[in-house]
Structure 1
Amino acid sequence: MDKLSIAGLIVALLAIYLGFSIEGGAIGTLFELPAFIIVVGGTMGAVLLQSSKAQFSHAMSLLPWIFTPPKFDIDKGIDDIVEWAQQARESGYLVLENVAMDVEDRFVNKGLNFLADGIETEQLITSVELDLELYREHSLRSARIFESMGGYSPTIGILGAVLGLIQAMSNLSDPDMLGQGIATAFVATIYGVGFANLIYIPVANKIRAIVHQQTMYREMMAQGLIAISQGENPHAIENRLSAFRLQE
Structure 2
Amino acid sequence: MNNHEIDFKLYGDDMQFVEVELDPDETVIAEAGSLMMMEENIKMETLFGDGSSEKGGLMGKLLGAGKRVITGESLFMTTFTNEGQGKKHVSFASPYPGKIIPMDLSELDGKLICQKDAFLAAAKGVSIGIEFQKKMGVGFFGGEGFIMQKLEGDGMTFIHAGGTMHKKELVPGEKLRVDTGCLVAMTGNIDYNIEYIGGIKTAMFGGEGLFFATLTGPGTVWIQSLPFSRLASRIFAAAPERGGNKGEGSVAGGLFDILGGDRK
- TM-score by structure 1 length? 0.23
Whichever structure has more strand as a proportion of its residues is 2
Whichever structure has more helix as a proportion of its residues is 1
- TM-score by structure 2 length? 0.22
